[in-house]
A and B are shown apart, each in its own frame.
Chain A
Amino acid sequence: MKKHLYSIQSFVIAGLLLFTGACTDLDESVYSDLKKENFFNDKTEVLQAALRPFTHMQAWLAPTGANGYYYHSALSADQVAWAQKGKHGYDGGDHFRQHYHTWTSNEGRMRGAWELMWTGVGYVNGAIEDISALENPQDIGMSQEEINSILAELYVLRAFHYMKIMDLWGNVPIVTENAQSTPINPETKPRAEVFAFIQSELEQYVPQLPKYSEELIGRTTQTAGYAILAELYLNAEEWSGTAMWDECIAACDMIIEGQAGGLNGAPQLADDLLATFSNTNQTASESLYQIAYSRKGGFTFNWGGFYMGYGNMSRALDVGYSGWNAFSVIPSAFDAYAENDLRKEQWFLFGPQYEYGTEIPILGTEEYNEEPLIYVNSIRRESEGDLSSDGSMAEGEENSGARFDKYKSGTSDDENYWENHYIIYRLTEIYFNKAEAIMRKNGGVANQEAVDLINATKERAFDEADWPSVMYTTATLTMDELLAERGREFIFEGKRRTDLIRFGEFTTGSWWDKQPDGDPNKKLYPIPSNQIANNPNLKQNPGY
């Protein structure tokens, strides 16, 4: 009996010791994420890492609903506003402050934009770091040239991020590698230094990029690179203090002359106003740089949040999506189009709305509940009898302002329904950039070359009969007119704030509910206060 007991005893104790010895292993097994050491095994995987920044970039660059570059660039300028519409759209007064230029360093949406854009830089830095570390590319079936080409693409993409960050905040740190668990407290660099970094990176790597072609749709190629350079040079005077008009013209020419490649041959101006934004714009002849969305592929360009009405409007377009009834066109921006300007008809929703293909009115759900919904060119309380005032940011209604209809998804039974790409740069902008550089070089006066460039783009917007009366001449194409035409052409494309700043209008101009603020410091946004608190080496911009 005793023996029996002892044997059990020793068994139990031995068991205890066994478990104790074996089971102190706390390594984690990962199942639904990837470990780096199991990745980068072939070209596809390398590209999957290199393309991560693109799926992220759309969030801040395209009008897809996030509080990024687009939100700030659009709402602080003179073309669109997110007015309060009754109980909707107050949103903590955020959009008021964008319109009035009364933002503080404590804006939640600006913290979001900073985080989104620098996360983009982080993804690029991470991809550069990981791909540079691949010592023997041939082991994974790649040549060193292929690796270098991918790296060049990433360097240019990073410079593009920095250019847009510099556009909003001016003086920022320059960081080319990611922190590992402890902060690195990078210090603020003056805008001129940031500019110089961007310029040198672009000038080094843009020529190393592949030329644009159908195989590289949605990638950073030479057309993208030279378009970025053109924008950088065009704004050089504002950003670095030194004008670079000749460099701008040269960069534009690289594209115009077809030396940077293009889709189906050298880039060509679109014949009409819609092709560039249609649901078959994947190979748009104008496109230089685009985000390659595809609904079928699982990556939809959803502009609905900012630019689509509530569910009732889905039937007007016969689409499956709806939005927040957010951005309206500012009345003065809509008035800027002549009545015979085809863009006014083709790029906007205006007037009574009908169920698609019928005469059945779309009904309102708020101020005009169960009454026909009619978009009006005013932002005021018409339902309460105000038919004459200029209105204000606080006085919108569900039908206030003309609405976005530039990108068109097609109806839900269209075979390319909502396949639209987002065009970051198109040839028309290069024409405008070149014309502006020529005019500025020429003391703010147009020559025939500049006039021809602008007319080439404007001609699409008018009937043949109307064209002679509206075409520009060297006398009519003034700098003010150039800014106005630039606005008409690029409305909804997220570029207006930069243009207003370059033309000196951003802080001195007045439009609709916006009075001149007269504060040149407003040309830069403040560094978000939470970031300054995090990093003592960040310096706040002047005036905040």
Chain B
Amino acid sequence: MKTNLLRSIVLPLALLCFGFAQAQSTVSGVVSDQNGPLPGANVVVKGTTNGTQTDFDGNYELTNVPDGATLVFSYVSFKTKEVPLNGQTTLNITLEEDTQSLEEVVVVGYGTQNKKEITTAVSSVKAEDFIQGGARSPMDLIQGKVAGLNITKTQGNNPNSDSSIQLRGVSSLSGDIAPLIVIDGIPGGDLDLLQQDDIASIDVLKDGSAAAIYGTRGNAGVILITTKKGRTGKTVTEYNTYIQSEFVDKKPDYLSASEFRDLIDQGVISADQDFGHSTDLYDELLNKSNLSQYHNLSMSGGSESTTFRASVFFNDAKGLPKQNSREQFGGRFSINHKALDDKLTIQSNLAANFINANLLGGGTGDFEQAIQRNPTAPLYNEDGTFYETEAYNNYNPLHRLADRIYERQEEVFSGDIRLSLEVAKGLNASVFGSYVRTNYNDRIFRSKNDWDQRESTEYQGTAYAKKFNHLDWSKTLEATLDYQTTIAEVHDIGAIIGYSYQYSTAEEFSADNSGFTTDGFLDWNLGAGTGITDTSLPRPELYSFKDDNTLVGFFGRVNYGFADKYFAQFVLRREGSSRFGDNHKWGNFPAASVGWAISEENFMQDIQAISLLKLRAGYGVTGNQGIPNYQSLTTLSDGGVYPQGGVYYQTYGAARNANPNLKWEEKHEINLGLDFGLLQNRLSGSIDVYQRKTKDLLYNYSAQQPGFVRGSIFTNVGELENKGIEVVLSAIPISSENFQWNIDFTGSYQSNELSKLSDENFQANWLEFGGLPSPGNLGNAIRLEEGGSVGNFYGKRFAGFTDEGKWLFYKADGSTASASEMNENDLSVIGNGVPKYNASLGNRFTYKNFDLTIFFRGKFAYDILNTKDLYFGNKKWLPNNLLKSAVTKHNQLDDDPQYSDYYIESGDFVKLDNVTLGYNVPLESRYLESMRIYVTGKNLATFTGYSGIDPELQDTGFTTGIDGRDFYPRTKTWTLGFNFRF
């Protein structure tokens, strides 16, 4: 009874045929994998329901086995093996891990599917394919691995900054543009809860027909992360560790003290700018001996009814800059228990992470100072205090690092439980509940000695302290009913319906004070400051805030497969969000997709070269509700104080133009895909072509005035169109007993256009992004216009220099003129900062126990605005320090900084992104099962024509391709790691 029931869940395929009885015997043996006995494996007499599972030591015993029978051995993620008995009564079987992609289980949201059943655009990356080395964030593990998924680390390897993630181009103006993260079924999961060794797979739902099951959160795609779970059998202990260090990749080319003096000698710089010292602030800001360490210890195992996995980790991540670190520890615990004759499954995960981040160092402005600070100016006065240069926008970052505190203590927790009950054969009812909570406390302190607190400021030489607390949590309740059956052997039917409720809220509080006459308290005694009572000091500020929102959805999915050849899937989610206006609380998000496994057709059976050929087509509608709360409501917000009879009270006026028609952004996407495998899958891959139109884009459009009380209204107007092609290729050029070479290629092309930015009521002429910093307020670099591409640089066109080295630009009529004669009508599109092509190429060589991975990544067909050159590569930046280009490449220029296409360069690049050499140490130990040692180098070389530091810049969202004046150093990273398994 028990085993029958189990099989009907795990092995529906085994029920396809019905056998009949012959002479019978008992068969026994041990099932193992390469690491040893495999508990919980299924053993079934082919064509019958007669089967069992291996016990704790991998043993099985099967009675009533007909003499001529064939036994089927199977286990999740292992290749199923069929062995004819041929009279034997003992069969010891070793199962091989399934590396054949076709049998892969793919997580698709509220369930899993075999890859061969997939009709949508889904990518699945398993742990063994992750990018190797130490990952700052789980997203680093798949950077470049999924075609169409952009993962950009705009802050280099800063341990305190996240990657920006975007799938298939930007899909929203003001809503979420990053995919929804779902961790073990928790929508909106926190990536901080994941350590690289706890992740089993990362699956990406790319197109609308895949993501529609997530309704109003599907527009930007969905990333489903599945953590590792325990397995029946003896407890396995793993210990993974690495040490890692960061090195400067490329230093900006600014003038050294001696070069600065050379220019003084040449009369380019005035002699009074020599302050008599020689300093290199850039070097001073670096912690060159930085060493990060990571430890992760996990135990997993379990009995037949209960399995578990527990892991704890410690990670001390150090950035290259001083005072830039993130120390974290935590754990993840999962348990799976079967009860009531295996009809009831209880599954629960608990995860927690405790983070202590030092946010003081690594500030981007510090490295701007490193370029522009006079290199002859001392860093310290003779008495050891810090020397401050007072030229425009100058400060001494070392002073700040010494006299300030900026720390964050953060705790992230997540807990979930799922109860699944098999109500009838093939019919399961589940309830899932989760709770995710993040809170952090910021400490901010500036000592009495800090330059900003000095006697001549409003702080009058007293210290400043601030506390900031943030708490957010969300609770989710989901109930599903799913049914699986096969009718007449060829009709595979699966269906699921469900209900989802999610409530999220955030609360914040902060308080600050000044007037601390001693540094003794730091930020731990806010009341000791006299800022509250001494009105000559800056007024202290108090702040608190709360908001919340609710999302309710009903959803269903039906899958149908016929004879493993024809597949179809239908999805509908009906979802409502509290954020939407009264007139549009609920939306419907349908999707349909079909697949045709051509290679399964009879006429293909003779074509040996083709092992797989499958067509997929899907259409899906998704939404985006990732907008601020309350935008549809009429509320009053505070407008500053004004006196009533001499007493200052807060005033209140309309917080916004209310919009009861506010609704979700809606994306319609068509995806066509082709999966293929040639030459026994030695060459395999897929091609996907998509076209997506996102309409009703939400933005603060300018509201007509007079009429509306406020100048803008948050409403649904615009339309974005993205289209693209994604290609994935895998090849095994060489495969012999001792040597294997795997090649993986991903490539994508995308184009994004803002097709609409106005309707009959509201419009924005254009949207601008990328404001260029002071001095000069050179305006916004990027303009998004109706009918224009996303990421267009918009500005003046360079026409040459006058004999005096003054700028000349083209006017609209083609004549040339100086900067002061330029107006709005003379500007035009001068470049585009969004890469059209992304590609990666991975090579993996395995020789005996060695493996070598060489991974390249590149982006092509885009431009970069080099603002470092714009400001610092200009002699007018004196008396601040300059880039050398000011006296070489741009020596002719003798005019104030101007933004034009003069500073637009091609950004194309190829990076040698990752090289890993690993060695599996052969062991004959009773205690140690396996041991691996590896060395990884990241960002080892960049091949580009770009003249700046690093051509890989922000390429998600709308502010793209701007190489900013302030920056976080780009690094090469070296990692030495060990994996032990006991």
Contacts and interface: CB of A to CB of B under 8 A. Distances in A.
A298 B778 CA distance: 32
A530 interface: yes
A81 B711 CA distance: 28
A118 B711 contact: yes
A25 B636 CA distance: 24
B538 interface: yes
A118 B344 CA distance: 65
Contacts of B577: 26
Nearest to A58: B640
Contacts of A452: none
A541 interface: no
Interface stretch (B361-369, B400-408, B816-824): B816-824
Contacts of B643: 217-218, 292, 294, 297
A369 B652 contact: no
A104 interface: yes
Contacts of B648: 294, 297-299
Given A51-B642, A122-B706, A534-B703, A35 B340 contact: no
Contacts of A216: 645
B702 A394 contact: no
A302 interface: no
Interface string B14-58: 000000000000000000000000000000000000000000000
A56 B635 contact: no
Contact of B641 (A55, A116, A320, A366): A55
Contacts of B546: 31-32
A456 to B, nearest CB: 31
Among A13, A30, A217, A363, the most chain B Cβ lie within 10 Å of the Cβ of A30
B390 A119 contact: no
B439 interface: no
Contacts of A20: 479, 499, 554
B556 to A, nearest CB: 13
Contact of B653 (A28, A93, A121, A126): A126
Nearest to A127: B653
A342 to B, nearest CB: 30
B636 A49 contact: yes
A37 B762 CA distance: 29
A320 B457 CA distance: 5
B708 to A, nearest CB: 5
Given A51-B644, A96-B820, A297-B648, A534 B763 contact: yes
Interface in B647-676: 648-655, 657-661
Nearest to B503: A23
Given A8-B421, A122-B654, A173-B706, A33 B630 contact: yes
| Interface SS majority for chain B | loop
A534 B657 CA distance: 15
Contacts of A96: 820
Nearest to A89: B776
Interface string A238-276: 000000000000000000000000000000000000000
Given A299-B640, A417-B536, A310 B576 contact: no
Interface in A113-155: 114-116, 118-119, 121-123, 125-127
A291 to B, nearest CB: 9
Given A115-B711, A127-B653, A417-B536, A34 B705 contact: no
B479 A44 contact: no
A30 B898 CA distance: 46
Contacts of A53: 653
A178 interface: yes
Contacts of A33: 630, 635-637, 655
B635 A35 contact: yes
B646 A26 contact: no
B651 A534 contact: no
A30 B630 contact: yes
B897 to A, nearest CB: 6
A416 to B, nearest CB: 10
A53 B651 CA distance: 9
A182 interface: yes
Given A33-B636, A179-B708, A181-B659, A19 B390 contact: no
B641 A298 contact: yes
Interface string A295-329: 11111000000000011101100101100000000
A299 B642 contact: yes
B705 A531 contact: yes
B642 A178 contact: no
Interface in B745-788: 758, 761-765, 774-779
Nearest to A312: B390
A393 B776 CA distance: 14
Contacts of A84: 820, 896
Interface residues of B, number: 110
Could you say which of B341, B641, B876 has the most chain A C-beta atoms within 10 Å of its C-beta? Answer: B641
B879 interface: yes
Contact of B896 (A13, A90, A116): A90
A86 B635 contact: no
A84 B499 CA distance: 62
B585 interface: yes
A453 to B, nearest CB: 32
Contacts of B392: 88, 310, 365-366
B465 to A, nearest CB: 18
B539 interface: yes
Interface string B702-715: 11111111110100
A413 interface: yes
A5 B762 CA distance: 59
Given A5-B340, A183-B761, A294-B648, A26 B825 contact: no
B80 interface: no
B636 A36 contact: yes
A463 interface: no
Contact of B547 (A31, A88, A295): A31
B585 A26 contact: yes
B578 A185 contact: no
Task: Give the most central of B501, B548, B636, B823: most A CB within 10 Å.
Answer: B636
Interface in A58-100: 84, 86-93, 96-97
A54 interface: yes
A91 B661 contact: no
A115 B552 CA distance: 38
Contacts of A92: 777-779
Contacts of A19: 477, 479, 499, 501
A22 to B, nearest CB: 9
Interface string B369-397: 00000000000000000000011101000
Interface string B401-434: 0000000000000000001010100000101000
Nearest to A125: B709
A140 B646 CA distance: 22
B642 A55 contact: yes
A39 B761 CA distance: 31
A86 B896 contact: yes
Given A16-B499, A90-B778, A412-B460, A106 B652 contact: no
B76 interface: no
Contacts of A45: 652
B273 interface: yes
Given A93-B819, A183-B761, 11 more contacts: A8-B421, A26-B552, A39-B652, A93-B820, A175-B706, A297-B648, A320-B459, A529-B765, A530-B765, A533-B765, A534-B703
6 contacts: A52-B653, A56-B653, A88-B776, A116-B711, A118-B705, A127-B653
List of 9 A-B pairs having minimum Cβ-Cβ separation, nearest first:
A320-B458, A122-B709, A297-B648, A52-B653, A118-B705, A115-B711, A55-B640, A33-B635, A31-B546
Interface of A: 1, 4-5, 8-9, 12-13, 15-16, 19-20, 23-36, 39, 44-45, 47-49, 51-56, 84, 86-93, 96-97, 102, 104, 106-107, 114-116, 118-119, 121-123, 125-127, 172-173, 175, 178-186, 215-218, 292, 294-299, 310-312, 314-315, 318, 320-321, 363, 365-366, 369-371, 393-394, 412-413, 415, 417, 529-531, 533-535
